[in-house]
Amino acid sequence: MGEKEKEEKDWLRELCGDDAKLYDFLAGKLYRNPLAALSKEGLDILVGEAERESINDENYQKAMSKYKLVVDKAIFEASQNQEERSRYIKLIQEVVVKTSLAAEKAKEKAEKEGLTDHAASLGRRIESDRFLSERIEDVLKVASLYYNERLELQRTEEGKRTRGVARREKQQREEREETPEERKDKKRSKARMEEKHEDEREDKLEEKRDEERGEARREKILETRREEDAEKSA
């Protein structure tokens, strides 16, 4: 596991607190880069594809894979559209019911064929779906905090890349515009080197500021979570 991936796992664990079951579920459900990982198809299209696989072709394994795409995408979209939260909850719960039915049929088939390991895996899938249905509110709350932080970090990284590209382009442009005499000018070369070092120092300062802002943002999120948990237990 890379250092950044470990940091995100630790962050998710902090968001889940002492709720080990919630952490275990979300650790295998959430994506570090949701915009790249999730299907670009609309939810209605994905649901229709899954139902055709399940009902018409009785390809239950493939149907479950399609339903998983629906649930994963719906969880992310719900985290970004809080005003439509209830609509997404209803959709997820409906899809979970369909997934469980497909999983039950696939499990029965696996048991008849003596595929015990596969049947056990499907049993765990059914338990996971049951957990999602029962804990959907908690799942969406933590998913929202996690995904919003991931997107913020991605925006920060994109900002650093943009600044780096802009500086390289500026340097290349200045080099192209220099005359041979200017290239030989030691004073000008020294000034450019000092400017480069200043840019590097500014990059490091900005990176430190980004880290400090991120730490403050995360601490504020965790403090809010702790206050909410205290109110629930009071």
Nearest residue to 138 (alpha-carbon basis) of 215, 67, 232, 70: 232
Integer Cα distance of 26 and 37 in angstroms = 15
Torsion angle of the four alpha carbons 45, 48, 53, 58, in this order, in degrees rounded to the nearest 10: 170
Query: Which alpha helices (DSSP H) does 30-80 contain, by range?
Result: 34-37, 43-51, 60-80
Print pLDDT tens along the chain (234 aa). 566 666 777 889 999 988 999 999 999 999 999 999 998 989 999 888 888 877 666 788 888 888 999 999 999 999 999 899 999 999 999 999 999 988 998 899 899 999 999 999 999 999 999 999 999 999 999 999 999 999 988 888 777 776 666 677 666 666 666 666 665 666 666 666 666 666 667 767 767 776 777 677 877 777 777 767 666 666
Angstrom distance (rounded) from CA 74 to CA 232 = 27
3-state SS, residue 92: helix
Cα–Cα dist 67/92, whole Å: 10
